[in-house]
Amino acid sequence: MTETQRVTVSGWTAKYAHWWMGLMLITLHGALAWGIEMWWARGLMLAHFGFFLMWQPVWRADREISAISAVLIIGVGLALGFIASWWLAALWLGVLAGLIGGKAFGAESARQRAASLIALLYLLGMLLGWVVPQLFLDYHDTPALVWLMRYGWLIFPVALLFIPQERAASATHVVDFIYSVMLFLLVMVLVLGSFALKLVTKGDYLFAVAQTLLGLAAMLFILAWLWKPRAGFSGFGQLLSRYLLSVGLPFEQWIQSLAHLAEAEREPEAFLQKAMAEIHRLPWVAGGVWHTLDEAGEFGYTTPHCIEIDVHRLQLALYTRGRVSPSLMVHVRLLTELLEFFYEAKLREQLQRQNAYVQAIHETGARLTHDVKNLLQSLTALCSAAESTEADQAEALQMLIRRQLPLITRRLDQTLKKLKAPHMVGREEIPAAEWWQNLRARYEPHGVAFELDGALDGCQVPAELFDSVADNLLQNAIKKRGAEAGVVIRVRFAPERGGTLKIEDSGNAMPDSMALKLFRAPVTSHTGLGIGLYQAARQAEQLGYRLQVAQNETGNVGFELSVMREVQATLG
């Protein structure tokens, strides 16, 4: 049979599953209702088994059946067709009840559930009302019961033929194995319990069935009551979940091992290799092969039994020493997903470290670029002054160069130190009077007005910070004056409490969006990298100062560098 034919048969059997189940139960009824010893019962039982194979929810029609499965099918068919035993019939009815009940729990539509419940009701009635009584030696038929079971009870399987089929039936057979086994065991307990009570008490069979049903109901009620945690007891539900999660591999130990590896190893490659070594220590694992997008590895040796798991970046093939159960397969997949989750976290940590390193390089380069630019502007101002100085101003020029060159040399030395150690923040303080004099010497020739509020005696300021802030703000103001005629630039300094520097101009106001973002992130700049004031603000925060927009109105735009309130409170 070709692959296309197998898929067609699978869809055909799934679409008409109600009819196959109805025909299966009708032929079973004919084989049991008139006596299992009748000559036609063997043929009807074989026909019943054929319809069962068409309906069965265990093997898919588009899959090839293994040799072991084929031998099992043939053996069951021969047993049902040639062994006339009411005990075998009772066992077979219990198996059918378990399969149909297990499929009812996974039914997707109301029609499927209704068909399964009708078939289950028929099987239980046939089992308790007809098959089990045949097991007693003193059993005597009653005409009413015989007529009910032979003709009246036939209405249930016949009704399955009139249930409308689904328009788009799924070809996938869904049977809950746990529910099927539990239902089969409950049916067997009901049958054997009723049989045993009838023999022991030598009473009425219906009374024995009623006693067994009450006992089962009481047992199920107690089990349901103990399923949830009560009065300090963890409950059977948690115990069962704990057991299922620990089949073949302790869940808690694996999580703890992964957590320890995640703490000890920073690199994702080393973490993954050690995690694979932990997997190799499991007693049921013989070896494995794993692949990621960047690397691969293997451990142990190969066996005929392999579990292949593909989870995002990680492909893992585990070779086991023997066949593994379905529950262990689910368990291994869950633990592999946890391993891949930790591996992904390690990759993200590595990427964050790389991004932080690149960001630090970028910020350091941008800050040093501004420092070099400011030094170049100072040197350009000196060169411009030297070119425009007359002969009678030579002495003044000499005094200017004598004052500015040591300052430029000191600032260049600080820039080189920051290049060697970019994470270090300069805190070198100089007298405020010396810094104020140097600032005036650099910018008074550019038409900047300076105002001093208070005496500078005893005041010390961090020269690198104040120079960086003043140079950035004044250079921007000078460029603004070049674009807007008549702009007045003022610099005010108050020496109280660490020094307060204010730089104002009479130009147009900044856009509100730019003013809000100015010191919080780099802003768009047409004349530079747009990061100078942002870096100056960060440097100020590290040294306990705050750089902010004091006012932003047309004709009165000002910035202020001052000590933070918390630091002011400490100084006060």
Q: Which pLDDT does position 171 carry in this prediction?
A: 43
Quick one: average pLDDT of 106-130? 84
d(CA 77, CA 81): 6
User: Which of 227, 256, 276 represents a domain boundary (last residue)?
Assistant: 227
**471, pLDDT greater than 80:** yes
Q: Per residue in 419-451, is it b (16+ CB within 10 Å) or e — as a string?
A: eeeeeeebeebbebbebbebbebbbeeeebeee
Residue 528 lies in a domain: yes
Verify that 182 and 258 share a domain, yes or no: no
pLDDT band at residue 168 using 50, 70 and 90 as cut-offs: very low
Q: Maximum CA pair distance of the chain? A: 145
pLDDT by residue (tens digit) across 284-335? 788 889 888 878 888 888 888 888 888 888 888 888 887 776 667 777 787 7
Nearest 5°: the CA angle 286, 287, 288 is 145
Q: For residues 344 and 454, state if they share a domain.
A: no
Lowest mean pLDDT segment, chosen from 11-15, 128-132, 176-180, 568-572:
568-572
Q: CA-CA-CA-CA torsion for 438, 441, 446, 451, nearest 10 degrees?
A: 70
pTM value?
0.47
Report the chain's mean pLDDT, rounded to a whole number.
78
pLDDT in tens, 145-165: 889 988 999 999 999 888 876
pLDDT recorded at residue 491: 93
Instruction: Give pLDDT, residue 365.
Output: 66
Question: Residue 96 phi/psi, 5° resolution?
Answer: -60, -40
- Whether residue 418 is contained in a domain is answered as no
Q: What is the bridge-based pairing of β-strands 545-553 and 305-311? A: unpaired
Residue 334, in any domain of the structure: yes
Least confident range of 199-213, 290-304, 495-509, 526-540: 526-540
Q: Which two tokens stand for residue 24?
A: 């299966």
**Is residue 8 predicted with pLDDT exceeding 50?**
no
**Whether 435 and 342 share a structural domain:** no
- Residue 43: what pLDDT? 87
Last residue within a domain, chosen from 319, 348, 377: 348
Question: What is the arithmetic mean of pLDDT over 54-81?
Answer: 74
- Rounded Cα distance, 482 and 409, in Å: 29
The arithmetic mean of pLDDT across residues 497-513, rounded, is: 87
Do 12 and 145 lie in one domain? The reply is yes
The predicted structure's pLDDT at residue 539: 80
Together in a domain, 325 and 456: no
Residue 122 has pLDDT above 80, yes or no: yes
- Pair (195, 281) in one structural domain: no
Highest averaged pLDDT of the listed ranges 180-194, 252-266, 421-435: 180-194
Mean pLDDT of 38-50: 86
Domain annotation covers residue 323: yes
CATH code for the domain of 450 = 3.30.565.10
Number of domains in the chain: 3
For 366-401, how does the pLDDT look when each residue is reduced to its tens digit (9 = 90+)?
A: 666 666 766 676 677 677 667 766 766 677 667 767
Domain end: 176, 202, 227, which one?
227
**171 shares a domain with 300:** no
- Average pLDDT for residues 459-481, to the nearest whole number? 85
Domain that holds residue 90: 3-227
Residue 440 has pLDDT above 80, yes or no: yes
Report the candidate in 446, 492, 472, 483 with the shortest Cα–Cα distance to residue 538. Answer: 472
Asked if residue 376 is part of any domain, the answer here is no
* pLDDT over threshold 60, residue 425: no
Q: 490 versus 15: which is more confidently predicted?
A: 490
- 302 occurs within a structural domain: yes
357 lies in some domain: no
Two structure tokens written together for 437: 């004099």
Give a yes or no: residue 467 inside a domain: yes
50-76 mean pLDDT: 74
**332 lies in the same domain as 213:** no
Q: How big is the chain by its Cα radius of gyration, in Å?
A: 45
